[in-house]
Amino acid sequence: MADREILFLKTAASVEDEAKLLQEMLELEPIPNQAGAADDEFGLRGPARTVDGTLGFEVRPNSYSEVDPDPEDVQAFDGYPVEIDIWLGGRGPAQEREARLVFDLLVEGRPDVPMLLCHTLDRLVAAYLPGRGVYEFPADTSVDAPHADRWQDWVAR
């Protein structure tokens, strides 16, 4: 699978409600569910803003989160129930720019919702906490426990 940029949201809203909000905020169109797709996964698409292309979104429950992980298994996105995968045909820097723009638009439009932006599931890019703002992580910051000292103050628990 190609690399994806992933947003994690800490919200009490349902995945379906988050998909509807994202669709409205970014003026996206739904992607019809494919056979075998889960009922709580929602595909959306719309034009990229900085390059020619279509930006795809998959809004779903965060299946990577652990409720009560052992200390060595803690990840930054534990406790963030909604995941939004973003892709632009695996187009590297353009895809990363587009995802960052989406992150910034959501921070502006949803200032009450803590968010994380990750590259694939391994690199933490940025975090937003209400009342604190946005934090940019050093380029080599992992979402995993060994780097918890870098991100623990910027992750909602």
Of 110, 127, 109, the C-alpha closest to 118 is: 127
Residue-level length of the chain: 157
Of 63, 120, 55, 61, the C-alpha closest to 87 is: 55
pLDDT of residue 112: 97
Domain ranges of the chain: 5-154
pLDDT single digits (tens) 33-44: 765 667 889 999
One pLDDT digit (tens) per residue for the chain, 157 residues: 578 999 999 999 999 999 999 999 999 999 987 656 678 899 999 999 999 999 999 999 998 887 788 888 899 999 999 999 999 986 789 999 999 999 999 999 999 999 999 999 889 999 999 999 999 999 999 999 999 999 999 999 8
The Cα 6–Cα 51 span in angstroms is: 19
Q: How far apart are the first and last CA of the chain?
A: 30
pLDDT of residue 124: 97
**pTM above the 0.75 mark?**
yes
pLDDT of residue 23: 97
